[in-house]
Structure 1
């Protein structure tokens, strides 16, 4: 199994980076995972802004040379792992821009009839996300908006049905939960199988 880790946080001294390292540590001890590739969106200075004009058309995004490297990494991966904070009940704009530009029509899905056909079938996805507010806030007040966005609006649409979402709330409090959650993520990736 080949894994692609997509990290979307600007600070390498952050808790999100500790989760990124925990994912890598778990994967390192998993014999089912052969190859690991990473994309650090802030480190790579990825531009999340969509640009369309007469020379750069939306319908040609699936062949846009600016995103070829990312499309190849996504194609090669059996497992897509996204590590990011939750801002305003959703992933950061940097990650959403990456999704907008790379999960494009005729690459990630095809829309020829009434319903789209996902072209990324057979892959699995894991999201590891953190937020300042308590976990129940996302579930009860926001109606699981983040999970619905990722599971239904993105992964289901592109054909990825095996999805796991870790959503850790209350992460700015120093109460020992961080270590517990880091261990949980590390253990999950050690045992993850196809």
Structure 2
């Protein structure tokens, strides 16, 4: 009887560990990320899945119901793609979406108009994209509806392959043109 009880405890522990491992794996593949859509009570969300890559949806009170899947929008393609999801950010006025993915480990920033994503229509006038190879790239935030601040350890303003900086530099990206300049803040000393 004692052996049977120990065997049951051991089996229960193994099953518990297997479930814990499965939950950990699911968390890695399904970290739901959401951001509020300006001017709306809805949120734009993305879930990273094992077999479909990125799945985008609109969540909240809308004319379409509580949650609506955006079937025509994907940044990464299927789950076997060489791309991985980084981050996304919606401009303050809700005009643009900035997305960072990594293709074979190299970051790539691209932009889409929010109305084309939400209406699931084709982008008629494509917006710019910024590939960084080698190096890194992160979104720092929006200053205005058409001005995004990004940071990179590469000299993006005077880009040459492999021209790494000593430290990360902030850059301004103006939309819809995609012009890029260093984000230089002038500090005035008070006497």
Q: TM-score, normalised by structure 2?
A: 0.24
Higher RCO structure, 1 or 2 (CA under 8 Å, sep 6+): 1
Higher percent of residues as helix: 1
